Amino acid sequence: MTTFHKIAVLMGGMSTEREVSLSSGRGVVAALREEGFDALPLDPGPNPGQQLFEAKPDAVFNALHGRFGEDGTVQGLLELMRIPYTHSGVLSSALAMHKERTKDIYRAAGLPVVKSIVADRREVAKAHLMEPPYVIKPVNEGSSVGIYIIRKGDNRPPAELGADTWNLSSEMMVEEFVPGRELTVSVMGDRALGVTEITTDLEFYDYEAKYAPGGSKHVIPAQISRAAADQAMELAIAAHKALGCRGVTRTDFRYDDTDARQRMILLETNTQPGMTPTSLVPEQAAHVGMSYAKLCRWIVEDASCDR
């Protein structure tokens, strides 16, 4: 195993998830220093290549979230510069960031998904593109940014989707709403760490529920049958492999236990899950006896090029 000493922690960036990334990055820097690494926080600006060239790290811990950090772009730069980096490579990062391409991979691998349509936001705003209830989400944002649930009886989708002030993706996914429970499974290498159920008193598990103190409750292990938990973990590993992911990922599910079908539906795979104090991956690692600092060490020691 290659030994790294100086680690640049990429954090912040220019996506809508900047503040979450800064929180993740601060935690990672502190943990890596605790483990004896020379950890350097690096907030990429207009010329991240120059910043990395001047920093001369042995490896990069990529704690960026969202576009320009989780979508294959920074990964491509790191490959060109031949700097070992954490998490998934160029192709798998790009595929996983685009929700419809992710579903294409899931479908090809025989994994369970619901029907979906991709359309321009203005078309989505005009009329129902499928029978409610359904969900509208940008195809390439994370942290539940820009998500709407359209329920039975709603006259039309939200008008702000068609507004000139809209600053997210113009390409939107419309997908069938799945009732039931919100589950998530972290995969570390080729191992599923556990199943967490996420509950919230808010309308759904949105950005505020994910990151505000008290916004959600994480139940680990999820109070579901052993068979359902095993199925979720097997599907998370299958999704990780189908997308060609590396390092740590987290796959989100809806578990519809409201009828006899007991559907376990994959929603998406996060190639760079949050590492904030309220994040799910550190919780699941702790559940199997791995501290936050040791988790960060494992992720760094897994770094490489050609991912």
Give catalytic status of residue 274 as yes or no: yes
Residue 71 makes CB contacts below 8 A (sequence gap 6+) with 93, 94, 97, 98, 140
Q: Which of 181, 250, 297, 307 is catalytic?
A: 250
Catalytic residue among 134, 211, 255, 292: 211
Angle, helix 18-34 to helix 292-301, in steps of 10 degrees:
90
The tally of CA atoms less than 13 A away on the side-chain side of residue 195 is 24
Per the residue annotation, which of 24, 92, 140, 143 is the catalytic one?
Answer: 143
From the list 206, 274, 279, 307, the catalytic residue is: 274
Q: Which of 70, 141, 175, 268 is catalytic?
A: 268
Bridge partners (DSSP) listed for residue 283:
none
Catalytic residue among 270, 279, 283, 307: 270
Judge whether 17 counts as a catalytic residue: yes
Catalytic choice (12, 13, 17, 247): 17
Distances (CA, A) of 61 to 2, 108, 272: 15, 31, 10
* Catalytic pick among 197, 252, 283, 302: 252
Whether 268 sits among the annotated catalytic residues: the reply is yes
Report the C-alpha gap between 45 and 36 in whole angstroms: 27
β-pair partners for 116: 175
Residues carrying an active site annotation? 17, 143, 211, 250, 252, 268, 270, 274
